[in-house]
Amino acid sequence: MKNNPINNPTVVSPDKWLAARREFLREEKEFFRLRDRLAQHRRELPWVKVDQAYTFDSPNGPVSLADLFEGRSQLIVYHFMLAPGWEEGCRGCSYVSDHFDGALPHMQARDVSFTAVSSAPLDEIQRFQARMGWKFNWVSSHGTTFNRDFRVSFTPAEVEIGVADYNFGMNEIGADEMPGLSVFARGADGTVYRTYSTYSRGLDLLIGTYNLLDLVPKGRDEDAEAPMKWVRLHDRYDHAALAT
């Protein structure tokens, strides 16, 4: 990470700083109101019934998509990039997933369950999960069409071409697995519906660290061509260097 000083900042009197901050507050309020409207529109999107019967491998044995609700009426699934045979999970997905555990009790208090799903076999998932120290539920879709159906796993032919049906259109893909998030609701009769999915930049909403970095003068301080190049698995940062 860069530890260079910030050169030539604009420094003003306290009165001018306060005036500038008040002016910017008007822009922030416009953004917050727009975000609220967008969230409302998202909640009002139509639902689609999930007809396919999926069975996942979990630490407690085989479970269905309905089982993942754990008695609640809403479910968030994070499509984590970890394919069979990978030595470790995706750096970007791991960056996102570092934010999940603290949110779990709060989501559950609002009738929401959460799980990550990967196409790797369960033992490979558990090995990486133990290394990362995560506690959230994580199941395997290995041997099912779940990842393909939700457009987060791709064929060798699609990878070779570099373009596939991802993020609701024909877009570039960089690997045989891509990240995403899907939301489900369960009706009174037990029917499961898909209410929302998001991919690519839509996942920024999950990254609290980005929200914090956006507050500081350097911002995200990323390479425009490879914005997440700096991200590491949290056990691979050079903490000694960062502390100096």
Mind listing the domains of the chain with CATH numbers?
48-206 (3.40.30.10)
Could you tell me which residues come within 8 angstroms of residue 240 by beta carbon, excluding any fewer than 6 positions away?
Answer: none
Q: How far apart are CA 121 and CA 177, in angstroms?
A: 14
Q: How far apart are CA 152 and CA 127, in angstroms?
A: 22
Q: Look up residue 79 and give its two tokens.
A: 């499509």
Instruction: Note the pLDDT of residue 241.
Output: 46
Binned average pLDDT, 10 residues per bin, the chain of 244 residues: 77 96 97 97 98 96 98 98 97 97 98 98 98 98 97 96 96 95 96 98 94 93 87 85 44
> Taking a C-beta distance cutoff of 8 angstroms, is the pair 135, 45 a contact?
no
- Kindly report the pTM of this predicted structure: 0.92
Instruction: Note the pLDDT of residue 239.
Output: 66
Q: What are the percentages of helix, strand and coil residues in the chain, rounded to 5? A: 35, 20, 45
* CA-closest candidate to residue 81, choices 147, 144, 155, 166: 147
Instruction: Note the pLDDT of residue 206.
Output: 96
Burial 103-120, CB ≥16 within 10 A → b, else e: eeeeeeeeebbbbbbbbb
